Amino acid sequence: MKANPQAVSQQRYWALGELTLARLREFYREPEAVFWVYGFPILLVVGLGIAFRNQPVEHIAVDIVDSPQAKSVLESLAKQERFEARVVSSEEARMHLRTGRTALVVEAGASETPTYEYQFDPTRPESVLAEAAVDDALQRAAGRKDVAEVKVEEFNEPGGRYIDFLVPGLLGMSLMGGGLWGVGFVTVDMRIRKLLKRFLATPMRKTDFLGGVMLSRLMFLVPEVLVLLVFARLAFGVVIYGSLLAVTFLILLGAVTFAGLGLLVASRAKTLEAVSGLMNLVMLPMWLLSGIFFSSDRFPQAAQPFIKLLPLTALNNALRAVMQEGASLASQLPEIGLLAAWAVVTFVLALKLFRWV
Amino acid sequence: MTLAIRCQNLVKRYDGRPPVEAVRGLNLEIERGECFGLLGPNGAGKTTTIEILEGLLTPTSGEVEVLGLRWGKADNEIRQRIGISLQETRLSEKLTVLETLRLFRSFYREGPDPRECLAKVSLEEKADARVGKLSGGQKQRLAVACALVGNPELLFLDEPTTGLDPSSRRQLWEIIREVRSAGRTILLTTHYMDEAERLCDRVAIVDHGQVIALGTPRELIASLGGEHVIEFTLACTPTEPIDAALAALPSVSEVRQEDDHWSLSVAEPHIVLPLLMEMLRERQCELTSLTTRHASLEDVFVKLAGRHLDDEPVPA
């Protein structure tokens, strides 16, 4: 080396920018991670969207127990295409009913005036439907006249379908998963690789490190959210009724909250197994209870106070209110307050507990 | 001018059952501009010591001054002025060499351009290669570059060449020598005596958490009483012990025996050798092997600790 030491410059580099960039690069250079974050939610939307697409009840399977009157029942039902009626023995009919291959069993009485006996399982929606429809058809055939005149208009507007319910839930779920994995898992991985320790040995500001983790997380979010919403719009016509600004605000708030939770989960864990276990422990109750695939109102009243305290419940409810009902942010203040409280508490706790080595 | 590093009565105790004392009353004074080596077997407390000096561990007791500053009072100032290569850091494999170095450069207020820094460790050609594609030696050179990118006055290198092949080791030695000749202070730990002998101006031999010898490699070797070692093995067992006779030979300062293997510390082998031959002839003992070599730091360690550097540590 020359006597003259190498040129030293005071050129300022932007540590927060470099840290954010490093995280972004690490992510986009990992094809598997990109798939799980961006591809997986789309697959879910496609799969669930197809499975639960709204369709008119096309066929009502009805069994008619064999008897001299069976033929006239069959003729009455044959007037409507939606009935799939067949005449079977009474044993066969019971068996079909038990195994769900028929929705309703009709047995005609042998008296002068038509009498019918319906057998069905009242807890099965399609059986209840079949009973109403078959009864209506048979009563009309027996001469009943409608007293009031009704007009039917078919309604299938976006907003009220299952897919419209599902998309905000999936958005919330993906914000939760992304936050916990993207922040928690990555942080523990850096601790295991002693990279956190190496950073600690430099004059790096800790706020820059945490800022980099947050900023990169928020940047991953943009394509993640756009892909999901645009796909849902193009493939299923899911529209957002509320303001885009309100939706954006909720998404950012949710991302920050779950990043805080991710940081808290990662604050002490020293192995990937430990952090995976912790993350599942945190996420599992919310997957089940927070209304991703079905409304959380279905759980018993006693559990509601607990369910309502979960951050994902608040996020999903607020997202649904804004996206489906066009509600204003002001109307979602309790949910927003709860999410903000989660964010503050988890960040403060995480910073207190955080171990660099 | 203040010392680069001064530590007194350094103690580090890890709680547990039983508690482990990794460092027990260690004293060091390292001058500015010297390359100082902590030499000792695995488990001697070298890494614990260096991590305390780096501010990554808090000592149980004792005083530490780095560049005249104290940890806990001027942490950021010290970190701006030191560079560190840890024993085991896995840098992000998906980043390129240059991106990694830019990232580290961004933490410091001043320093060389990352590309120039790469040239110093001969990695310019790998600037755009992913870290994951580098060889072990290249990764270690990148780690040293990351330590140099803040233009440090004091460089800590923990086991810089462990696990590297011979040519990578020599390449790294060359880099360390250049860093030293640029006027920086270097503290390195190693369990390779040849590394300490070639690189270090002064060496502290550490065992069981204490400095058991301190000096230039030359001084330490000279303290053996002779700079040469004669080693031989015999085909037969002597009828009477020969230790006393060997020790009585002129210019022999120490006799050690392990099984049928003798080793003598000798100042002037040309005087000892003919006398040794004669003595063995008289006793009708045949030699199976005979070598003479320069004494090394390993011999110093063996003399002081009673075992070899690569032996399993003996519980104290």
- Residue A83 and residue A165 in one domain: no
Average pLDDT over residues B114-118: 92
Is residue A12 domain-shared with residue A116, that is, in the same domain? no
B116 at the A interface (CB within 8 A)? yes
Quick one: pLDDT at residue A129? 87
Tell if the CB–CB gap between B120 and A6 is shorter than 8 Å: yes
Mean per-residue pLDDT over chain B, rounded: 90
- Minimal Cβ distance to B107: which of A5, A15, A197: A15
- Boundaries of domain holding A289: 7-53+158-353
Tell me if B89 and A26 make a contact (CB, 8 A cut-off).
no
Q: Do A116 and A255 sit in the same domain of this protein?
A: no
Domain boundary among A111, A141, A171: A141
Query: Does A25 sit within 8 Å of B90, measured CB to CB?
Result: no
pLDDT at position A4: 42
Question: ipTM score of the complex?
Answer: 0.86
Quick: pLDDT tens for B236-249: 776 677 888 888 88
Identify which of A1, A9, A193 has the shortest CB distance to residue B110.
A9
> Total structural domains in chain A?
2
From chain B, the residues in CB contact with A1 under 8 A are 178-179, 181-182
Question: CA-nearest residue of chain A to B102?
Answer: A18
Query: In chain B, pLDDT over 70 holds for what percent of residues?
Result: 97
Of B165, B167, B160, residue with least CA distance to B142: B160
Rounded to the nearest angstrom, the minimum Cα separation between A209 and chain B is 10
> What's the pLDDT score for residue B256?
85
Q: Given CB atoms, is B139 within the 8 Å cutoff of chain A?
A: no
Q: How far is CA A298 from CA A37, A172, A335, B213, in A?
A: 29, 19, 19, 75
pLDDT of residue A224: 83
Answer yes or no: do A7 and B90 touch at CB < 8 A.
no
Q: Does B58 touch chain A (CB under 8 A)?
A: no
What pLDDT digit, counting tens, does each position of A291-328 carry? 888 888 889 999 999 999 999 999 999 999 999 888 99
Is A195 in Cβ contact with B92 (below 8 Å)?
yes
Tell me if A57 sits within 8 A of A154, measured CB to CB. Answer: no
Inter-chain touch B95–A22, beta carbons under 8 Å: yes
* A172 and A260 belong to one structural domain: yes
Minimum distance, in Å, between the CA of residue A207 and any CA atom of chain B: 12
Q: How far apart are CA B276 and CA A153, in angstroms?
A: 118
Domain boundary among A113, A141, A169: A141
Measure the CA–CA gap between A266 and A29, rounded to whole angstroms.
Answer: 23
What is the pLDDT at residue A157? Answer: 67
Q: How far apart are CA A267 and CA A260, in angstroms?
A: 10
Alpha helices by DSSP H, chain A: 15-28, 31-34, 40-51, 70-78, 90-98, 125-141, 162-179, 186-192, 195-200, 206-236, 244-266, 272-289, 304-309, 311-325, 333-353
pLDDT at B209: 92
- Is position A151 within any domain? no
Q: List CB contacts (< 8 A) between A25 and chain B.
A: 94-95, 99
**Residues in a beta bridge with A118:** A106
CA distance A345 to chain B (A): 28
**Domain identity same for A179 and A299:** yes
Which pairing describes strands A83-88 and A60-65: parallel, antiparallel, or unpaired?
parallel
First to last CA, chain B: 38
Same domain, A210 and A347: yes
Size of the A and B interface in Cβ pairs below 8 Å: 94
Site from A13, A28, A194, A202 to mutate, B interface, most B CB atoms within 10 angstroms:
A202
Helix (H, G, I), strand (E, B) or coil at A107: strand
pLDDT band of B313, cuts 50, 70, 90: low
Q: What angle do CA B85, A19, A347 make, to 5 degrees?
A: 105
Residue-level pLDDT at A151:
83
Residues of B with CB below 8 A from A21's CB? 99
Separation of first and last alpha carbons in chain A:
36
Q: How far apart are CA B188 and CA B34, in angstroms?
A: 11
Q: Indicate whether A37 and A70 sit together in one domain.
A: no
Q: Residue A159: its pLDDT value, please?
A: 67
Is pLDDT above 90 for B107? yes
pLDDT at B22 over 50: yes
Q: With respect to residue A241, please indicate whether it lies within any of the assigned structural domains.
A: yes
Sheet holding B61-66, edge to edge: B20-30, B5-14, B61-66
What is the length of chain A?
A: 357
What is the token pair recorded at B104? 């580290």
| One-letter amino acid of A168 | P
Q: What are the tens digits of pLDDT across the range B195-241?
A: 999 999 999 999 999 999 999 998 998 888 778 899 998 887 766 77
A170 and A28 assigned to the same domain: yes
**What span, in angstroms and rounded, lies between the C-alpha atoms of A103 and A29?**
54
Is any Cβ of chain B less than 8 angstroms from the Cβ of A202? Answer: yes
- Which one of A141, A174, A209 terminates a domain? A141
Distance CA A248, CA A34 (A): 22
- Cα distances from B172 to residues A145, B119, B166, in angstroms, run 100, 13, 10
Q: Which of B17, B55, B3 is nearest to B202 (CA)?
A: B3
| Per-position DSSP letters for A278-300, written without gaps between them | HHHHHHHHHHHHS-SSS-GGGS-
pLDDT for the residue numbered A155: 66
Are the Cβ atoms of B183 and A5 closer than 8 angstroms? yes
Answer yes or no: is A147 within a domain: no
**Average pLDDT rounded to a whole number, residues B173-179:** 93
Spatial distance between the Cα atoms of A41 and B138, rounded to a whole number of angstroms? 40
In sequence order, the 6+-apart residues with CB closer than 8 A to the CB of A285 are A310
Do residues A205 and A312 share a domain? yes
Per the CB < 8 Å rule, is B109 touching A203? yes
Contacts of B99 in chain A (CB under 8 A): 21-22, 25
Cβ–Cβ contact B91 with A under 8 A: yes
Q: Indicate whether A149 belongs to any domain.
A: no
Letter for the amino acid at A210? L
Asked if B106 has any chain A CB less than 8 Å from its own CB, the reply is yes
A230-288 pLDDT tens trace: 888 888 888 888 899 999 999 999 999 999 999 999 999 999 999 999 999 999 999 99
CA atoms within 13 A on the CB side of A125: 1
- Look at A195 and B90 and tell me if their CB atoms are within 8 Å: yes
B111 contacts on A by Cβ (under 8 Å): 8-9
Residue A199 CA to residue B108 CA, distance in Å, equals 12
Residue B32 predicted with pLDDT over 80: yes
Alpha-carbon distance A257 to nearest alpha carbon in chain B (angstroms): 27
Taking CB atoms and an 8 Å limit, are B111 and A9 in contact across chains?
yes
A181 lies in the same domain as A313: yes
Q: Is A193 on the interface with B (CB under 8 A)?
A: yes
pLDDT band at B159 (very low <50, low <70, confident <90, very high): very high
CB A173 within 8 A of CB A292: yes
For residue B140, is pLDDT > 80? yes
Q: What is the mean pLDDT of each run of 10 residues along chain A (357 residues)?
A: 56 89 90 79 77 66 88 85 87 88 88 85 86 88 83 71 87 90 89 93 91 89 86 86 93 94 92 92 92 88 92 95 91 95 94 88
At residue B99 the predicted structure's pLDDT band, cuts being 50, 70 and 90, is very high
Query: What CATH number has the domain bearing residue A123?
Result: 3.40.190.10
- Integer Cα distance of A209 and B274 in angstroms: 70
Q: Cα distance from A9 to chain B (closest Cα, Å)? A: 6
Residues A48 and A68 in one domain: no
Q: Are residues A259 and A226 in the same domain?
A: yes
- Residue A148 in domain: no
Task: Answer yes or no: is A251 within a domain.
Answer: yes
For residue A152, being part of any structural domain is answered with: no
